[in-house]
Amino acid sequence: MAKHKLFQPSNHIKLIKQGIRFGISCLLGLWIGVSSPILLGDFSIQAQQTPAFKQLQIGTSHYQRKQYNQAATAWEKAAQQFANQGDLLKQSMALTYLSLAQQHRQQWSAAKTTITQSLEQLQDIEPKQQSSQWLHLYAQAHNAYGRLQQALGRPELALTHWQQATQFYQELNDPVGVRGSLINQALAQEAAGLYRPACKTLIRAMNLTLSCDVDDDSILTELQQQFMAHPDPKIQVIGLRNLSNVLRQIGSLAKSQSLLKISLDLVLPLQSPDLESAIYLSLAETERALYQQALQQSLEVGELKNQSLLNDSLAHYEQAIRTAQLVSKAEFKPATQLLVIQGQLQTLSLLLDWQTSLDFPLTQSSSQPQKLAKQILDGPLVNMPASRAVVYAQLNLAKSLFRLGKIQPSKSWSERSIQWVTTAHQMAVKLDDNRATSEAHGLLGTFYQQKASYVKAQAETEAALSIAQATQANDLAYQWQWQMGKILDARQQPQQAIQYYQSAIHTLQGLRKDLVFLAPDAQLSFRNGVEPLYRQLVNLLLSSNPEAQNLQQARSVIDALQTVEVENFLLQTCTKDQLTEIDQLIDRTEVNTAFIYTIFLNDQLGVILKLPHSDELQLHTISVTKETFDSTLVELARILQFKLPSRLSKIQSASNPIYEWLIAPIEEELIKN
């Protein structure tokens, strides 16, 4: 990672004689953990036999051995001694070091004060003294500040500092520093949910001029080769892991799994249990996504496939837990403890998925989720130092406890879930983490909504929405607008509910650029995660008042949904120039075509008819459940696979119900026109 050797006692005189530079980049790059920024760069100072410099050296030695308390003590002394000498440059350097040690100790307030002082010291240096060393220190300080903001759950602020660091490294013509700060930027973008920009930034970090088309195997291969060519094996591993995480988020699951297996092969010889555990955790997450995808696909055709993916995911969660536990026993570290907890939480969540979504029992004891939940509750999570990662672990636990409450209503799981969300909310407020605070309010709103406590649900959701909108977290805002619509609908306030649904769709459309998935594997996630918003609004419009105005609004919503579906299928956004209004096609004089919109309204199928040269829409409803409708379509699709004359009677028989549902109610109008 560094270009030069660290200063060691054994070669102290030799370094002075030769004037070899002190490689600060090694020091700042030693901290590599779960989703951790890589602090890169290099600047030089002349080695000196002064008390201050000796304290700097002592702190470095402790830091390398992960003795952060002793390192902080030494660097605090060094900073004070440099201040007494009036050496602002080296004082700033020592303060940056000190902030990193404080961050490791999770002393967030002190770390912020220290790194702020370091930056202020650098700003006070006269322009004529702003040498390349000054630029390096400025870049390092911004890197350290970015690391702090990322740990506190403020990826947007972290991104700003890392962008500044990138700019300084570019001015210094330091490609190693540029690459490291760009990888940091990708981490912040990933944390903020900006997966497409994160993918682009990783490609830029590799100094490539490629698109982010992850379906192009040649691009992925070149990215992989670029990371593999890096001289530092930890950078290889972290780069591949970051890329694989982005690939998972954008739906390229098989490729994510492939890169993680390569990362695992690379990390094992490094004897870095923290990083190894993190890779096992990422691999389990990808395999869990693959399992859920296989489950959705198999349920559509009535059979379960690829159950081995579930077993693989559970095995890798367990491996992540065991690896982290070995580290925790040898050396107490909150970050490693958190890895153990995260593995346990994800295992619990997956076991609940399996137990609640399938109609056959677990191969292990059916009480396993309950036992694991009790184990987590009795663990160290309640006493973990405050951080965003801990807040989200607490929210994760609350979700699983609430689900357990549905399985065992007689137990106190639901009450405990609300207690944990409240605890997470208090910690998020303490950290001044607006995003996590919004998510805590929103989750409480979800719980109260499902318990039919609609007054509380509305109050919590309003609070969540207010914070999300104030911080421009639109990816959260549309979820809380949607949730408000559901709550108001349940409270028999359909018009207000419609307004919130419409606001949610408007907010979501503003996010479409980053929500258009880059891989076909993500289409199932879209269908289950976004499509219901549109369909629920149409349902509400037609159920509350199926008059002309609501019919037109419902039709507009269906049009918007179909546009989104097309974009999702084509994997790109459509401009207005690329779209043509249905009316323009239907109302052409040479075309005599009707248009049919369909939508499910509870246990009724709604059929909206648009006739040519008419602004009036007609609605017909047919009593049929969605399950019956879907199974009929699946059967017809199965029969149509065999295009033989002998199958014609079966095709006609399977088609008859669909004709009765879609065409028969409007047949008279079609003949008349």
Average pLDDT over the chain, rounded to an integer = 79
Give the pLDDT confidence score for residue 305 in this predicted structure: 54
Residue 51 pLDDT class (50, 70, 90 cuts)? confident
Give the pLDDT confidence score for residue 78 in this predicted structure: 93
% of residues, the chain, pLDDT over 70: 78
Q: Pick the residue with more confidence: 231 or 325?
A: 325
Give the pLDDT confidence score for residue 442 in this predicted structure: 97
Encoded tokens for 339: 């890895």
pLDDT at residue 213 tops 80: no
Evaluate the CA torsion angle 136, 140, 141, 145 in order and state its sign. Answer: positive
Residue 284 pLDDT class (50, 70, 90 cuts)? very high
What is the mean pLDDT of the segment spanning 515-541? 66
Lowest mean pLDDT among 40-49, 109-118, 229-238, 434-443: 40-49
pLDDT at residue 407 tops 60: yes
* b/e sequence 422-435, b meaning 16+ C-beta within 10 Å: ebbbebbeebebbb
Residue identified by tokens 């689900």 is 403
Name beta bridge partners: 605.
Answer: 600, 622
What pLDDT, in 10s, does the model give residues 550-605? 888 888 888 788 777 776 666 566 666 666 666 666 666 666 788 888 888 777 88
Give the pLDDT confidence score for residue 595 in this predicted structure: 85
What is the mean pLDDT of the segment spanning 654-673? 91
What is the mean pLDDT of the segment spanning 646-669? 89
Encoded tokens for 613: 């040269």
Show Cβ contacts of residue 463 under 8 Å, excluding neighbours closer than 6 positions. 438, 441
Which DSSP string do the residues of 22-84 spell out, in sequence order? P-HHHHHH----TTPPP-----------SHHHHHHHHHHHHHHTT-HHHHHHHHHHHHHHHHH
* b/e sequence 31-46, b meaning 16+ C-beta within 10 Å: bbbbbbbbbbbbbbbe
Stated as kind and residue range, the H or E segment containing 133 is: helix 132-151
Give the pLDDT confidence score for residue 568 in this predicted structure: 64
What pLDDT, in 10s, does the model give residues 11-40? 322 222 222 222 222 223 322 223 333 333
Lowest mean pLDDT among 302-311, 331-340, 545-554: 302-311
SS3 of residue 601 by DSSP? strand
What is the mean pLDDT of the segment spanning 394-401? 96
Q: Pick the residue with more confidence: 70 or 520?
A: 70
Which DSSP string do the residues of 490-514 spell out, in sequence order? HTT-HHHHHHHHHHHHHHHHHTHHH
What is the mean pLDDT of the segment spanning 107-111? 90
Give the pLDDT confidence score for residue 145 in this predicted structure: 94
Task: State CA 159 to chain mean position distance.
Answer: 16
Give the pLDDT confidence score for residue 326 in this predicted structure: 83
Asked whether the beta carbons of 7 and 60 are under 8 A apart, the reply is yes
What pLDDT, in 10s, does the model give residues 338-375? 889 999 999 999 988 887 765 444 444 445 899 999 99
Show contacts of 469-478: CB within 8 Å, 24+ apart. Answer: 470/434, 471/434, 471/435, 471/438, 473/434, 473/435, 473/438, 474/507, 474/510, 474/511, 475/193, 475/511, 476/435, 476/438, 476/439, 476/442, 477/507, 478/503, 478/504, 478/505, 478/507, 478/508, 478/511, 478/533
Nearest one of 290, 387, 411, 371 to 338, comparing CA atoms: 387
Asked whether the beta carbons of 324 and 277 are under 8 A apart, the reply is yes
Give the pLDDT confidence score for residue 576 in this predicted structure: 62
Give the pLDDT confidence score for residue 580 in this predicted structure: 63
What pLDDT, in 10s, does the model give residues 231-272? 778 878 887 887 788 788 777 788 889 889 988 998 988 888
Residue identified by tokens 């923290």 is 274
Give the pLDDT confidence score for residue 217 in this predicted structure: 65
Asked whether the beta carbons of 414 and 375 are under 8 A apart, the reply is no
Give the pLDDT confidence score for residue 36 in this predicted structure: 37
Number of neighbours of residue 462 by Cβ within 10 angstroms = 16
pLDDT at residue 1 tops 50: no
Name beta bridge partners: 617.
Answer: 610
pLDDT at residue 79 tops 80: yes
What is the mean pLDDT of the segment spanning 507-517? 64
Give the pLDDT confidence score for residue 2 in this predicted structure: 32
Q: How far is it, in rounded angstroms, from Cα 112 to Cα 109?
A: 5
pLDDT at residue 486 tops 70: yes
Show Cβ contacts of residue 617 under 8 Å, excluding neighbours closer than 6 positions. 548, 551, 552, 555, 608, 609, 610
Give the pLDDT confidence score for residue 118 in this predicted structure: 93
Nearest one of 199, 242, 275, 237 to 34, comparing CA atoms: 275
SS3 of residue 211 by DSSP? coil
Q: In what order do the strands lie in the sheet with 617-623?
A: 595-601, 604-610, 617-623
Name beta bridge partners: 620.
Answer: 607
Nearest one of 626, 656, 659, 654 to 640, comparing CA atoms: 654
Q: How far is it, in rounded angstroms, from Cα 440 to Cα 421?
A: 6
Q: Pick the residue with more confidence: 426 or 2?
A: 426
Encoded tokens for 255: 């490729």
How much is the pTM?
0.71
Residue 457 pLDDT class (50, 70, 90 cuts)? very high
What pLDDT, in 10s, does the model give residues 434-451? 889 999 999 999 999 999
Give the pLDDT confidence score for residue 279 in this predicted structure: 93
Evaluate the CA torsion angle 251, 254, 260, 263 in order and state its sign. Answer: negative
* 253-262, 298-307, 395-404, 574-583, range with greatest mean pLDDT: 395-404
pLDDT at residue 516 tops 70: no
